[in-house]
Amino acid sequence: MKPVATRCEPSKFRIVLDVGHTAESEGAISARNVSEFVFNLRLAKQIEQKLKAEGFAETRLLLTEGKARRSLFKRVATANDLRADLLLSIHHDSVPNKFLEDWEFEGKKSRFSDRFSGYSVFVSRENPDFKTSLMFAELIGKEMKAQGLEYARQYSQPIMGRHQRPLLNRETGVYRYDELIVLRKTRMAAALLEAGSIINRDEELMMSSPERRDIISSGVAAAVKEFCEPRWGMLGPL
């Protein structure tokens, strides 16, 4: 392991929680016309609270402004400047446009797809510490599964076309997505969590609930603790 993966005293270990998308580029729009950015921010704040309660006092919430692509490079630069030990990018899932159907919610036209659901975790082989990134992603997937959640299986299927990704673990729902800027350009181990589908009408309701956010944030906190504690136990204070 690289030295960054061994500096794991919780009070000093710096985790950056990247809130996916921006207020200007909101990401996907849910089945009930709520932006993905709103979902991402709510969940990231709850994860931040959980991690700080577990002693990870250096946890940082990363909020970025601006349009889509420009904001990607900006968030990478900020994470690198923060000298983070670990980055987790928080997102909520949608589907390719060809799977969307029309419906009306509270008098407004919207689009949905109830065909797919579930969380997924992504890593990039281009990350400078891919092995550590993969290990962290596996821990997140394992904890999501332990919480009774199912992962999104569609990314491994040919019907996804250019959105198809290699599935690295059939048990935990970890996929490889090499092109993601926020994963491959950061200098620390990094993973991206799609917490669930907000275009699926039933799952959107679950993702809107404090109970589901609590389940996911608890899972992430448990994954970070497991990622950290073996190193802390073996190495002791630096």
Ranges of each domain in the chain: 9-235
Tell me the β-bridge partners of 114. Answer: none
Cβ atoms of 114 and 202 closer than 8 Å: yes
Cβ atoms of 62 and 79 closer than 8 Å: yes
Name the superfamily (CATH) of residues 9-235. Answer: Zn-dependent exopeptidases (3.40.630.40)
Tell me the β-bridge partners of 190. Answer: 87
Confidence class for position 237, pLDDT limits 50, 70, 90:
very low
Confidence class for position 235, pLDDT limits 50, 70, 90:
very low
Confidence class for position 116, pLDDT limits 50, 70, 90:
very high
Better-scored residue on pLDDT, 4 or 82: 82
Q: What is the pLDDT of residues 162-177, one digit of tens each?
A: 999 999 999 999 999 9
Tokens coding 169: 């673990």
Residue in 117, 217, 133 with CA at minimum distance from that of residue 180: 133
Q: DSSP H helical segments within the chain, as ranges?
A: 36-53, 68-81, 130-146, 181-184, 201-207, 210-235
pTM (2 decimals)? Answer: 0.92
201/198 Cα distance (integer angstroms)? 7
Q: What is the per-residue pLDDT for 70? A: 81
Q: What is the per-residue pLDDT for 230? A: 62
Q: What is the per-residue pLDDT for 100? A: 97
Residue 55 has pLDDT above 60, yes or no: yes
Confidence class for position 66, pLDDT limits 50, 70, 90:
confident
Q: What is the per-residue pLDDT for 7? A: 52
Query: Averaged over 127-142, what is the pLDDT?
Result: 97
Residue 4 has pLDDT above 80, yes or no: no
Give the list of residues 6+ apart from residue 55 with CB closer than 8 angstroms, or none.
Answer: 10, 11
* Distances in whole angstroms, Cα of residue 131 to Cα of each of 77, 136, 137: 22, 9, 10
Taking only Cα atoms into account, the Rg of the chain, rounded to an integer number of angstroms, comes to 17
Residue in 63, 93, 86 with CA at minimum distance from that of residue 195: 93
Confidence class for position 1, pLDDT limits 50, 70, 90:
very low
Query: Averaged over 4-29, what is the pLDDT?
Result: 86
User: Tokens 């016309």 belong to which residue?
Assistant: 33
Confidence class for position 88, pLDDT limits 50, 70, 90:
very high
Confidence class for position 67, pLDDT limits 50, 70, 90:
confident
48: helix, strand or coil: helix
Cβ atoms of 199 and 113 closer than 8 Å: yes
Query: Averaged over 189-203, what is the pLDDT?
Result: 98
